[in-house]
Amino acid sequence: MVYADERRSRLHGEENGGELDYRIEEKEAFTVVGKAMHCTCQDNEHTRQIPKFWEDSHRDGTIARLNAVSADGVLLGVMTDMQPGKEEFTYMIASRTDQASVADGLDARTIPASTWAIFTAVGPIPETIQSLFGRIYQEWFPATGYEHAGTPEMEVYPPGDVAAEDYRCEVWIPIVKR
């Protein structure tokens, strides 16, 4: 999709692999359906919990069910219920849907209209996405005039081989001006 208010930029970082490609886009609210779990950031436990959750969701058929109801063939990793000072959140493997009803065992959530900083990651998952999140919070936020909007953030996974060196996905962070 192309959006009228799209702005592309790069943040040059001396550490962690050079430039950080991102764009700013306005998007309307949309609905996602998926399966959720509680995660903790203590001792970086979420970096182990989330990949295991994806593996389990492939095995138990959740991914196939989400692909069947997906509006665009893209899978999402949605982080919700994040609160400042808390080291926990809800992680949902989801897909965007236009369907009115939700299949048994899946939950629906509305992602509010937002201004998003959208970052591109290239490389195998989960390592590439985990590294990108670190760079966003350690490099990008301090260097820009934006802060987190406090609404859900997302990993956006188009179809493809997530283990490939050239796999491309995105991280969407909701933002507001400071």
**pLDDT digits 0-9 by tens, 9-31:** 555 444 445 689 899 999 999 99
Number of domains forming the structure of the chain: 2
Q: State pLDDT tens for residues 116-158.
A: 999 999 999 999 999 999 999 999 999 999 999 999 999 999 9
CA distance 126 to 44: 14
User: Of 111, 130, 159, which residue is a domain's last?
Assistant: 111
Whether residue 84 is found in the same domain as residue 130: no
Is the pLDDT at 3 greater than 50? The verdict is: no
16: domain CATH number is 3.20.80.10
Is the pLDDT at 52 greater than 80? The verdict is: yes
Please give the residue range of the domain that contains residue 89: 30-111
Predicted confidence band of residue 59 (pLDDT cuts 50, 70, 90): very high
What is the gyration radius of the CA atoms in the chain, in angstroms?
Answer: 16
CA distance 114 to 144: 18
User: Of 111, 133, 151, which residue is a domain's last?
Assistant: 111
pLDDT for 114 equals 97
